[in-house]
Structure 1
C-alpha cells in the first residue's frame, strides 16, 4: 500500500541516495559493484558511481579495493545510535531488554508513537530466533492497533477511540471499560491473538490507514472486538489453564508522568495463568526501570 502523501516537495537526488541505502540495508550480507547496484536499483552507472563515491568518502559505505564492491559503512552505526538516543532508547534500556529476553526466551521490545504511527524503537531476540518484527517497523496508530498506548490516560484513550479505525470494529463499551480498569490495576496489558490476527498485523506493517473499502471489510473479518482480545487476570482463576498469548505490554513514562513508550514481550505461544503473571510482573519491573532512567514517574 502506498504511504500517505508527504507534505512538501520531493527531492529526486535525495531519493536516489535513499534507494541505494535501502537496497544495501535489505541485503546486509552482500556486496555489490557499481554496475550491478545501478542495474538492481534502476539508476544510470555514472549517477550510481557518483552517489556511492560520496557515501564512501563520508563513511556511510565501505568500498572493497580488491573487487571494487560496496557495503554499508560504520558511519551508519553512529547515526543509528543517535536516532535511538533521540527516541530515548539508551544502552542501559537495551540491557534490560536483553535480560528479559534471555530469562523467558522470547523477543523483548520498546516501541513508541512517532508521527502518529507505532514504531519499534529497539528489540532483543533470543539467539537464532526470527522475531517477526524489526527496529523501525511501524503500524497505524488507530483502532484496533495501539490500545497499550492509551490505557493509562483517559484523554489519550478518548482521542484514540475517536480516530477513524483502520478496520471495521465491534466495540463493547462495557467490556472495554472493564479491561481498562483491570489493566490499570495490574499495570500491564496481555493480548490474545488468533492466527488470522497474526497475519493481519504482519500485513499492516508499513501500511497507511487509507485502505480500500473492500480490503477493510475483508480484514475486518479477522478482527474481534477490542476488549475481547485482552486477557484479564481476574476472569481466569486456577493457574493451570492455558491461553494463546501474543504480546504482554507495560507502559514507560517521562518526567511529566506521560506515557512515552511501551515495553513488550512477544510471546507467540500458550501460557498458564501463573506463567502469564510471572512474565507480566517481570516486564513491569523492566518498564519501571526504563522509566527511572528517563527521570520519569508513574501517574
Structure 2
C-alpha cells in the first residue's frame, strides 16, 4: 500500500492505481477488459473504470475502442526512458551542477529530450535556497517543437536540427532563416547559448510547464505565438555583447554529448537579471567546461563539424 513518506499513512486510492499499472506492466503483451481487471484486482467496476479512464487520458494506457480492452500507453515509454536516463546521469551531473550553483548563486539544471517532450532530469540550488523555491523541478516537461526546444538541437547534427524545424509547431512561428543561421553558427563557435530576459519570456516558460502547445485553444496559441515572435530572436549573438555593458539575461545553456556526438543533455545556469558582458562570458565558459566534463564522464564526444553544415 502506498505510504505518505512524511506521515507513514497509507493511501488506498493510490494503491489501486499502482495495482492496475503493476498488473499491466507485468503482462505487457496482453490487453485486459474492465470486468477482468476489476475481478482480478478485487476493485469495484466503477472505481476501476475511473482509474482506467484517467490513465488513458494521461497516455499511460491505451483503450481499443473495438475490443474495449486496455494496454500500456506511450507515456510509460517516456517515463521509463526518463527514469533510466535519470539514474544513469544523476550521479555524474549532480556534482557539476552543485558546484556551479554554489559558485554563481544560481539554480542550475540538466535536461534532455525524452520522447516528444523536454524533461528536467536534475536540479541544483545554491546553498541556503530551498529546492522547493526553485522554478525548475525534476520531472517537469515542456513541448519539443518550434519555437520551444531550440537549445536541444542547436549543437547536434544538422539532420536532427532539420527534423526539429519540420515538426508541427507548438505555436505560430516567424522563421527568419538568416537570424537562425547566425544563432546556430555563433552558439556552436562559443559552446554556449545566452538567452535574453524579456518581460514575457519567464512567464511563458512557467506557462509551458507540463503543457502540450497543440492542446491549447487556437486563440491562446496565437497569443503565445505573438509573445515568441521570431524563432531565434531571444538568443544573443556574440557581436551584440560588449564587455563593459550590462544585458538582461534569462539563462545560459551548454550541451553535453553522447558517444555518437549527439546532444545527450543540456546544462543551464539561471540568471534572471542584468549582468555585464564580462560576467556573461565568465559564466558561459564555466558552464561549458562543466558540460564538457559531463560529456567526458558519459563517454561522449563532441560532433565533428564539416564547416559546410546547413540545417
Q: What TM-score range do you get, normalising by the shorter chain?
A: 0.7 to 0.9
| Structure 2 equivalent of residue 134 of structure 1 | 137
Q: Using the alignment, how far apart are the partners of 1:182 and 1:49 within structure 2?
A: 49
Q: What is the TM-score with the length of structure 2 in the denominator?
A: 0.70
The answer to whether the aligner puts 1:166 opposite 2:167 as a matched pair is no
Q: Using the alignment, how far apart are the partners of 1:49 and 1:143 within structure 2?
A: 36
Q: 1:49-198 alignment to 2 at 5 Å?
A: 83=83, 88-126=88-126, 127-128=128-129, 130-152=133-155, 153-198=157-202
Corresponding residue SS for 1:95? helix
Q: Using the alignment, how far apart are the partners of 2:15 and 2:234 within structure 1?
A: 52
Q: Using the alignment, how far apart are the partners of 2:113 and 2:231 within structure 1?
A: 19
Q: CA deviation at 1:180?
A: 0.6
Deviates more, 1:168-177 or 1:105-114: 168-177
| Structure 2 equivalent of residue 236 of structure 1 | 241
Corresponding residue SS for 1:88? helix
Corresponding residue SS for 2:233? helix
Q: Using the alignment, how far apart are the partners of 1:33 and 1:95 within structure 2?
A: 34
Deviation string, structure 1 residues 219-271 (Cα, Å, up to 9, x no partner):
2222131221001122222x121111111111110111111111111111111
RMSD of aligned residue pairs (Cα, Å): 2.7
Corresponding residue SS for 2:213? coil
Corresponding residue SS for 2:99? helix
Q: CA deviation at 1:189?
A: 0.8
The answer to whether the aligner puts 1:250 opposite 2:251 as a matched pair is no
Q: Is the 8 A contact 1:151 1:180 kept in 2?
A: yes
Q: CA deviation at 1:167?
A: 1.4
| Structure 1 equivalent of residue 211 of structure 2 | 207
The answer to whether the aligner puts 1:31 opposite 2:7 as a matched pair is yes
Q: Using the alignment, how far apart are the partners of 2:153 and 2:231 within structure 1?
A: 13
Q: What is the TM-score with the length of structure 1 in the denominator?
A: 0.73
Corresponding residue SS for 2:211? coil
Q: Is the 8 A contact 1:143 1:164 kept in 2?
A: yes
Q: Is the 8 A contact 2:96 2:290 kept in 1?
A: yes
Q: Using the alignment, how far apart are the partners of 2:14 and 2:295 within structure 1?
A: 46
Q: Is the 8 A contact 1:191 1:229 kept in 2?
A: yes
Say which of 275, 279, 284 aligns to 2:279: 275
Q: Is the 8 A contact 2:94 2:124 kept in 1?
A: yes
Q: 1:2-17 alignment to 2 at 5 Å?
A: none
Q: Is the 8 A contact 2:146 2:170 kept in 1?
A: yes
Q: CA deviation at 1:84?
A: 5.9
In structure 1, runs of 5+ residues without a counterpart are 1-16, 38-46, 55-79
Q: Is the 8 A contact 2:257 2:265 kept in 1?
A: yes
Q: Using the alignment, how far apart are the partners of 2:15 and 2:95 within structure 1?
A: 40
Report how many residues are paired.
238
Corresponding residue SS for 1:229? coil
Q: 1:160 to 1:133 in 2, by over 3 A?
A: same
Q: Using the alignment, how far apart are the partners of 2:246 and 2:141 within structure 1?
A: 30
